[in-house]
Structure 1
C-alpha cells in the first residue's frame, strides 16, 4: 500500500495518462511561493509555473503564470472575454480542482477548467509546476505543459 498523498497519486495517474514525461518531486517542506520553490529546486523563480485559479462569475479560470509575474487580472479578463477575475476562495479552489491553494496542479481536476498559459514560461528549458499537493512539483517543458493542459496562450502581466 502506497503512503503517497491521494492528490499526488491522482496527479501521477493523470500525468501518465496524458503522456507527461517529467519527474514528480516531493519536496521536504511545503513551498508557498515561487521563490521558495525555485530555491528548493535550484532554478529561477521565472521557471516556476504558478497555477492560479480565479473566479469568473462562478466559473473557474486557471492561469498558469511564470513565478516572475503577477497576473494583471483586469487585462486577462478583458483578453479572455469575462467581466472580471476575482480571487478564488479556498472552497471554490477545492470544488473546481479537488486540490488546495498552494498545491493546485495544471491538470487532474474533477472537470475541465478553462486554462491560460503565460508565454513568458517558454524561455525556460525546464518548467516546474505543482503536482496536486503543496509539497509536490513536476518538471515539464513549455510545449508539453501547453499540450497537457490544452491551455490558450495569453499575456498575463
Structure 2
C-alpha cells in the first residue's frame, strides 16, 4: 500500500498539505504491521514511547474531545473534565470515534476529520524534538512536532496526566 492508497491516509496528507506542512505529509510512513498502541509504534519506529502522540477520542458531556497524549502515560479523565469545563469525560465507543473522526481506533490522526474537534495537546510531547502521530490508518504514522500539533489542531496545550 502506498501512502495515498487508503482514503484515511489521503485525508490526513491533504489536511497536512492544506496546513502548509507538505514536508510532514511527505514523511508519512506506512509500516509493515499495525501500530495500534504507543508501544507498538515506538518499537516499529525505534523511538521512545513518550515520542508517540496517541490520538484518544473521549466524550466530554456527550461532545467529542480529542486528546493528543504522550505514549508514556495515560490521560486522566477527571483532570481533562476540569481542564475543558465539563462534568464528565469518558472513553468513546468505536462507532462514536469513527463518526467524529472518519477513522478507526488505532489509526486516528490529529487531522483529517469531517469537522474540527475540540483538542487538547499533552505538554509532555514538547520534551521530544520529533513526535509521531497516526496518519489515518493503523499502519500509518507521520513525524511532526509539539508546536505543529498545537497549530494543526488549534489545540490547547496542557498537562493531561497527574
> Is TM > 0.5 for Structure 1 vs Structure 2?
yes
CA apart distance, 1:145:
1.2
Whole-Å separation in 2 of the counterparts to 1:125 and 1:115: 21
- The count of corresponding residues between Structure 1 and Structure 2 is 156
CA RMSD of aligned residues (A): 1.1
CA apart distance, 1:11:
1.0
Q: What is the aligned counterpart of 1:87 among 53, 68, 91?
A: 91
| TM-score normalised to structure 1 length | 0.96
3-state DSSP of counterpart to 2:80: helix
1:1-157 to structure 2, matched below 5 A, reads 4-20=5-21, 21-22=23-24, 23-157=27-161
Which deviates the most, 3-12 or 70-79? 3-12
CA apart distance, 1:94:
0.5
Segments of 4+ moved more than 2 angstroms: none
| TM-score normalised to structure 2 length | 0.93
Q: Which runs of 5+ in 2 are unaligned?
A: none
CA apart distance, 1:57:
2.3
Once the two structures are superposed, residues 22-60 of structure 1 have per-residue CA deviations (whole angstroms, 9 ceiling, x without a partner) of 210001110121111001001000000000000112200
Whole-Å separation in 2 of the counterparts to 1:32 and 1:102: 4
